[in-house]
A and B are shown apart, each in its own frame.
Chain A
Amino acid sequence: MSSAANRSTGHPRQGASLIDPGSLMRIKNLELRARAIVEGFLSGLHRSPYHGFSVEFTEYRQYSPGDDPRFLDWKLYGRSDRYFIKCFEDETNLRCHLLVDLSRSMNFGTVGYNKAEYAKTAAATVAYFLQQQRDAVGLLTFDDAIVDVIPPRFRTGHIHHIMMSLERAPAGTGTDIEKPLEQIAATVAKRGVVVLISDLLTPIGALQKNLSYLRARGHEVVILRVLDPREVDFRFDQAAMFHDIESGRDIYVDPSEAREQYLASFGEHADSLQTICNQLGIELHTITIERPLELMLFNLLTERMSRGAKVRQRGSAGGAV
């Protein structure tokens, strides 16, 4: 990802540095929320003892025949008399697509705010973080159709567009994850990182096809799966009519009887999802919405770093990225 991210090997301080998501959600302005998280997170990074050591090794590459001579660092050549390709900026500048699911199922939430709110905050946080690191961020929001598309840019004011788009209230009905994934695959020529933020409560089959397609186009895919704690543990105290927010269907469910079966089905779905992600080399981060967003960001970056290290190791071993 960015250089800053790559530098960070620590994790944010637990306790005081983490912001309670409930309090955070009370801040209406999405950008402020993102800033509060990212700045707290960055301040955590600055306290890392490994700050700033890996810059040289990752930013300069020895010239090899076939490389574009335009990118040679002549200043370094002057000092060291060796050819180094200044490939750093071009290679590490990220093009990130944030895919945010704003379907009705995301309106579910039992901790004082819903998944959509959490997902938007997460998207804003990632966008803000990337923006801070001079990466290009684009946004695509969808429910059963694509709602907003903002191509990745890095320029002044771009982040505001993203924030405004995220703050728009969801209006769709069902979740159709196929279309946005297809569209990304079809329209985005340059490879980049696709961050999909969704609850992924959709059939596994369609998901697998589109994710495969996306991966085949060379995109790196990160999935942030946002879930409500009740969706995970299914703790309801009495029998009730359950109303499907998306389809409007009602069924009578006695949780004491249905819990086992639910957890089994849910777990099976999650396992299938994990399997697919593993097969396709996709990062899958599952987080429940009562957890602090910093943890989400931390996990994301840690994973990215470890992946980056693996890639580098493979690169140094085999030379291929």
Chain B
Amino acid sequence: MSFLTGAFLFGALAIAAPLLFHLIRRTPKARYEFSSLMFLKPSPPKLTRRSRLDQWLLLLLRALAILLLAFAFMRPYLRTEAELSLNDAPQRHIAILIDRSASMRRGDLWDNAVAKVEEALDGLESTDLVSLFAYDEKLEMLITPETAGGVDRAERRELVREQLQSLKPTWGASDLGGALLGVAERLQSADDMQQTHAALQILLVSDLQAGSQLDALQMSEWPESVRVDVRSVAPEEVGNARVRLVAAAESDVDQAPRVRVRNAAGSSVEQFEVVWSDGQTDQSRAVSFYVPPGESLVLEVPVEPGGLAPDRVQLRGDSSGMDFDDTYYQVPAIQEQIKLAYFGDDAASDPEQMLFYLTRAFDETPARKVDIESIAGDEMPNWEFDAKPRFAVIADSLSAAQQTGIDRYLEAGGDALVVLRNDEMVGQLGSWLGGVTSASAQPKASGPQSYALLGTIDFQHPLLAPFAGARYNDFTKIRFWRHRRVDLDKDDGAVVIARFTDNSPALWSIARGEGTLYVISSGWNRDDSQLALSTKFIPLLSRWLELATRDGLAEQSYVVNQPAPLPVASEERIVTTPDGKPIKVAAEETTFTATSVPGIYTLTDGTQAMKFAVNVADAESEVEPLDLGQLEQFRVPLGVAPSQAAQLDQMRQLRDAELESRQKIWKWLVVAVLGLLGLETLLGAFRSRQPVQVAGDLA
């Protein structure tokens, strides 16, 4: 016989109550003083006989009823099945997930994190299975759940310890959501594969900084069977400051570079210095900043004139151990001189002409200066090496020499745009353009309704790809008063990028050698269209310039682990990392992915060297503690999975409860109690009819 709730046995102590009441006689409350008791004899309740049990049968019945009731409350049952063994309970599978993002470089965070993992390893049960993961923005599986088969559990723990010793924090940002989800899925799939039905647990060791990305959790459903036990590590210093270069506006050509210093909330330091440096020595005077905690400040930090071009801004005065984000790298700003050729006899000052708008489209910026070379007449300048323009706009009929020169330019990789301003140009350049014939001339519109719009636009084409977004793809406000209706020779490889609403080609491209020839069948002068006045005009021209820069880098600044797009090349290139290590990049590679360290990288393509900067992600500098409530909002169950012994205990309790509910012995006991109470009532009633002497003697 076993019991479900043995504590109710104490209820049996209530037997003492009837016994006590039985023995304690009721002392009469009334009291009279009387002159003499010589004529009185005491009535039966005799105070001298308090301790004798008179109604032992009643007492026995009452005590038995209480005993049986206590027994029923203990929920007795008969244990008939075999005992459960430890093997019946599911084991635990614990995936240790350690944060090794750049923020873990602060102070002694990393050592603390490793110590926490080792402490957790020491506290595991012998049956627990362990795997090890590390994450920054990528999840790295160091000891995977699938390798459980071959290796002994104790050996796995030693493997985990060894891996931990070799592990170091990286410069990457932390994608906590992705890492958690990845580990959870791996745990679940491994559990499904091995059919172990283990209790799945992620042991997260991290600084849990506010900049951790949790977006992945929002997009996917968290597997309910996986619990997350968070062991956070925190540095002694709570503050952190960071420095970033503020992008200069295009109009601020002559302004000194500006930097933004942001101080974390709760920081103990407020006074900072910022200085330009080349990695060896300071290249400018230090500028002092007073930034209160939780605020940011933008100030100019001028570069010393005449010195070497500094490539980094350094922040000084940050809390100790918080210097991982105190340097911001920037490729020294060199203004690019871009030449653009314009074939046509337009006057740059005439607003009716196209050149007027073209010259005003490219303002000078610190990064770029566009010079437009206007070529009138039949001459063809000699474009050799650096003298050749980045892009050519042909707005007039070309002479034979010019056609030959342009052909050579295109073959060498140059890009050109032909604007068909009139039907004569179509006739003269039709064959050179590859079979363009005039369909019929579009008369100048006389009414407001007589205009054409771009009807079909190929946003997949590299030229218009930047306009593909919903905010930018509205071309309906650009009205074309006149355009040339042409037919294209389909065999010539012309790719139509846009068509007018009458289905005639508006813009198309033709590959010529290394270069590309674009043709547009309407001009941006006021007689032809509103294109020059639209918001699309300058981005479109800039895009032509970008596409023409085939041998240059698209951008010069990236964050750690962000792939840097490489220019097309025909042979192997070398990227030199900030620590001077050369990495070979095959010719067909379009991106460089080994941007694992912040600093200045140098891409060497033949004789040409291009630099790009890699910095620590901004989010990594947000070191305020993350609210764990966010994890709970994504329905991530926090807490420790029950150990095998605890689960076994729980199973045993469940089984016992089930047995008890099946047998329901307590019901019979309650029936017996009712029977006893009935008997007691009958006996009590019978006794109360007895002589009065005993009536007062009962409890």
A residues neighboring B (CB under 8 Å): 105-108, 115, 199, 201, 203, 228, 231, 236, 238-247, 249-254, 257-258, 261-262, 265-266, 269
Contact = CB atoms under 8 A, between A and B. Distances in A.
Contacts of A266: 39
A294 B100 CA distance: 119
Contacts of A247: 37
A115 B36 CA distance: 13
B28 A240 contact: yes
Task: Pick from B33, B34, B40 the residue with the most CB of A within 10 Å.
Answer: B34
A239 B28 contact: yes
B294 to A, nearest CB: 83
Interface string B260-274: 000000000000000
Contacts, number: 84
Nearest to B29: A240
B45 A201 contact: no
A7 B37 CA distance: 43
B32 A105 contact: no
A244 B41 contact: no
A106 B32 CA distance: 15
Contacts of A251: 37, 40-43
Nearest to B42: A251
Given A236-B32, A252-B45, A252-B47, A242 B37 contact: yes
A201 B36 CA distance: 7
Given A253-B43, A257-B43, A258-B41, A240 B31 contact: yes
Contact of B34 (A239, A244, A254): A244
Nearest to A237: B30
Nearest to B47: A252
Contact of A199 (B27, B33, B35, B696): B35
The CB with the most chain B CB atoms within 10 A, among A231, A240, A262, is that of A240
Contacts of B31: 240-241, 243
Given A239-B43, A254-B43, 5 more contacts: A105-B35, A231-B35, A236-B32, A240-B30, A240-B32
Given A239-B28, A257-B692, A262 B36 contact: no
A254 B28 CA distance: 10
B30 A252 contact: no
A143 B268 CA distance: 98
Contacts of B42: 251-253
B38 interface: yes
A248 to B, nearest CB: 10
A249 B34 contact: no
Nearest to A265: B39
Interface string B522-535: 00000000000000
6 closest cross-chain pairs (CB), A and B: A240-B30, A108-B35, A265-B39, A254-B43, A251-B42, A105-B35
Contacts of A105: 35-36
Nearest to A266: B39
A242 B45 CA distance: 13
B692 A243 contact: no
A219 B37 CA distance: 32
B36 A244 contact: yes
A168 to B, nearest CB: 20
Interface centre among B28, B35, B38, B43 (most CB of A within 10 A): B35
A243 B32 contact: yes
Given A252-B47, A253-B43, A258-B43, A241 B37 contact: no
Contacts of A115: 35
B46 interface: yes
Interface string B682-697: 0000000000100010
Interface centre among A228, A236, A239 (most CB of B within 10 A): A239
A108 B33 contact: yes
A253 B40 contact: yes
A246 B40 CA distance: 14
10 contacts: A203-B38, A239-B30, A239-B43, A240-B28, A241-B28, A242-B33, A242-B40, A257-B692, A258-B43, A261-B41
Contacts of B45: 252
A228, A236, A252 — most chain B CB neighbours (10 Å): A252
A243 B34 contact: yes
Given A251-B40, A252-B42, A257-B692, A245 B28 contact: no
A106 B35 CA distance: 7
A244 B34 CA distance: 5
Contacts of A258: 40-41, 43
Contacts of A265: 38-39
B35 A252 contact: no
Interface string B44-88: 111100000000000000000000000000000000000000000
Contacts of A269: 39
A201 B44 CA distance: 25
Contacts of B33: 108, 242-243, 245
A236 to B, nearest CB: 6
Nearest to A239: B28
B28 A249 contact: no
Contacts of B34: 108, 242-245
A230 to B, nearest CB: 8
A33 B30 CA distance: 35
Interface in B637-660: none
A266 B34 CA distance: 14
A238 to B, nearest CB: 5
A253 B47 CA distance: 11
A181 to B, nearest CB: 19
B384 to A, nearest CB: 137
B29 to A, nearest CB: 8
A91 to B, nearest CB: 40
Nearest to A263: B39
Nearest to B38: A201
Contacts of A254: 43-44
A246 to B, nearest CB: 6
Contacts of A107: 35
Contacts of B43: 239, 251-254, 257-258
Contact of B35 (A228, A239, A250): A228
Residue of A231, A251, A262 ringed by the most chain B CB atoms within 10 A: A251
Given A231-B35, A243-B34, A245-B33, A252 B28 contact: yes
Contacts of A262: 39-40
Contacts of A239: 28, 30, 43, 696
A267 B298 CA distance: 121
B43 to A, nearest CB: 4
